Structure 1
Amino acid sequence: MRELRVVGLEPDAKHVVLADPTTGDKFRIPVDDTLRAAARGDLARLGQIEIETTSQLRPREIQARIRGGASVEQVAEDAGIPVAKVERFAYPVLLERSRAAEMAKNGHPVRPDGPTVETLMEIVSQAFRARGHSLDDAVWDAWRDDEGYWVAQLRWNAGRSTNRAHWRYQPDAHGGTITALDDIAADLIDPDCGRPLRYLTPVYSARDVDDSTELDGTDRSAPIQLEPPVVEEPAAEPAPVVEDTPVGATLSDDHDDDASRATQSPTKDKRGKPALPSWDDVLLGVRSNGRA
């Protein structure tokens, strides 16, 4: 790099005259803000001037976009400048957003019966524990919307999905108030957010019944067969002892005795009803009509 030295100013004082001490060649540069900032050693002003001359966004516009929720990478891509140059102006705005997010966490959510005693951070922590989520992995952020209100955001992952809850934060002397802006945010500050989830009873279809029958060999669709109860019969009375026929008796005598008993046994009783056979007739096989 060739080194030049300042020779003087032109008569209109709008250019500085420089000369090469080796060759004697002279040069001139305009007296502008860049030269003045370089002469003072103001690096911040030099960076701002560079952005103004090479970018489509002015530094104030860059800060406005960062304050509105844009990231440094988004602004750098839109402006067509390196990220490092945007960070110079984004840094103070990012600190402002971080402080707003911390203040929002200490705000009090507004419910139908008024602001809560617990802070937003306390209520959200209870809701996360009830749902089995980890608040340590969640990210808080804040920015200003088009109406000038601060919007607080909580972002966390559940499985493969990314959830975002948004609240409007309005500072006041008591810590500020929090108003839900979407269903997820309203659900987190709902007093019933920690209620246990309902369990559904499984409904079995005919296919499920068939499958279960094949597995264990039992047809659960068939009606249940109940066996009839066992009724114990009363014990039979001991049979009367029948004496043996004497040796001298003959068959004709037995026949005559049976006929005689049959003749003496009326077929009807005194009231005209059929007479019941005697116990001897039952054992010996004699019917009530006198025939064996």
Structure 2
Amino acid sequence: MRDLHVVGLEADGKFVVCADPKTGDRFRLPADDKLRAASRGDIARLGQIEIEMDSLLRPKEIQARIRSGATIEQVAADSGMAVSRVEVFAHPVLLERSQAASMAQAGHPLRHDGPAVQTLLDIVTLAFRARGHNLDDAEWDAWRDEDNKWVAQLKWQAGRTTNKAHWQFLPDGHGGTIAPLDDTAHELIDPDFGRQLRGLAPVRALAPASADDEASQQSFDEYYGTTSDSELDAETVEIEADETPAPEVDQPHEPVARDPKPAPKAAPGHGGKDKRGKPAMPSWEDVLLGVRSSGHN
């Protein structure tokens, strides 16, 4: 390692001039914060400056990240740089993205029969109107993907839901073509959206069957070769009649002698006369019950 001695500053004061005492060769060093901290012996400041130098992005790197869709705040947070420093290099790229988004709105969506006659902006305006949304509240944006192709985005708020639709934009001399990249983008440019459903044709009444058709139509039993219920019932009756046993002839039985029933006794107090031939006196129960002396109620 060769030793150098300080010669002085350049005219603009941005570099320190040093020389080799043996050969006379001159060298220059940038008069920055790192050199000032080293001249003061501030080791802590030297370490901090080293970290800041490693995290800084070059202008091309900043613009490449902005062109890929990153925001200024995201680049500043990832690199540790000040937002104002990132804005200086990001501003031209943001203008490029805004111009690409405007060109995508004038593009023609691709369909199965070729590009549509209407532009993307016209079709999306009709779709928003049919859904009850306001296109003025939506935001258009564009950036380049990994294949260096433009991607257009439409972002809007519906209630508490944030919706996003993405299309691939290929510019050309006729306004460019638009191809959907997700379901939301496909639904917005769907030509069948909002079209009324096809009506059902009226049902035609069937002509009544003629007598010849009814006569020629086979019955269920004739078609399958089975026996009808009436025939089965007739056969069942015949079988039951054959199996019914003949009635037995009653044999004469000798009469059985029965005991004669005893003659009913006359109720006391209901007789006509007593032993002396005089009318009998009614009993006390007959008087209470209203029975006559003759024995009749």
- The 5 Å alignment of 1:54-203 reads 55-195=55-195
Cα offset for 1:10?
Answer: 3.4
Cα distance change of structure 1 residues 112 and 195 upon mapping to structure 2, 3 Å threshold: same
Cα distance change of structure 1 residues 188 and 70 upon mapping to structure 2, 3 Å threshold: same
Cα offset for 1:62?
Answer: 1.3
Question: Residue deviations 1:150-192, cap 9 Å, x none?
Answer: 0000000000000000000000110000000000000000012
- Contact 1:101 1:141 survives alignment (8 Å): yes
Corresponding letter in the other structure for 1:14 = F
Cα offset for 1:51?
Answer: 12
Cα distance change of structure 1 residues 62 and 85 upon mapping to structure 2, 3 Å threshold: same
Describe the SS at the equivalent of 2:151: strand
The total of aligned residue pairs comes to 165
- The 5 Å alignment of 1:263-274 reads none
**Residue segments in structure 2 that go unaligned for 5+ positions in a row:** 1-7, 20-24, 34-49, 198-297
CA distance, structure 2, for counterparts of residue 51 and residue 98 of structure 1: 35
CA distance, structure 1, for counterparts of residue 81 and residue 108 of structure 2: 41
Describe the SS at the equivalent of 2:26: coil
Cα offset for 1:71?
Answer: 0.6
Moved more, 54-63 or 135-144: 54-63
CA distance, structure 2, for counterparts of residue 102 and residue 169 of structure 1: 11
Cα distance change of structure 1 residues 77 and 99 upon mapping to structure 2, 3 Å threshold: same
Cα distance change of structure 1 residues 113 and 138 upon mapping to structure 2, 3 Å threshold: same
Cα distance change of structure 1 residues 59 and 190 upon mapping to structure 2, 3 Å threshold: same
CA distance, structure 2, for counterparts of residue 121 and residue 143 of structure 1: 18
CA distance, structure 2, for counterparts of residue 89 and residue 52 of structure 1: 18
CA distance, structure 2, for counterparts of residue 90 and residue 57 of structure 1: 12
- Contact 1:152 1:167 survives alignment (8 Å): yes
Cα offset for 1:5?
Answer: 7.8
CA distance, structure 2, for counterparts of residue 143 and residue 157 of structure 1: 21
Find the partner of 2:27 among 10, 14, 31. 14
- Contact 1:52 1:59 survives alignment (8 Å): no
- Contact 1:76 1:83 survives alignment (8 Å): yes
CA distance, structure 2, for counterparts of residue 52 and residue 110 of structure 1: 48
CA distance, structure 2, for counterparts of residue 61 and residue 9 of structure 1: 32
Corresponding letter in the other structure for 2:138 = A
Corresponding letter in the other structure for 2:101 = A
Cα offset for 1:53?
Answer: 3.0
Describe the SS at the equivalent of 1:14: strand
- The 5 Å alignment of 1:30-41 reads 30-31=29-30
| Percentage of identical aligned residues | 62
- Contact 1:110 1:179 survives alignment (8 Å): yes
**Residue segments in structure 1 that go unaligned for 5+ positions in a row:** 16-29, 35-49, 198-292
- Alpha-carbon RMSD across the aligned residues, in angstroms, is 2.8
Corresponding letter in the other structure for 2:67 = R
Cα offset for 1:61?
Answer: 1.3
- Contact 1:153 1:165 survives alignment (8 Å): yes
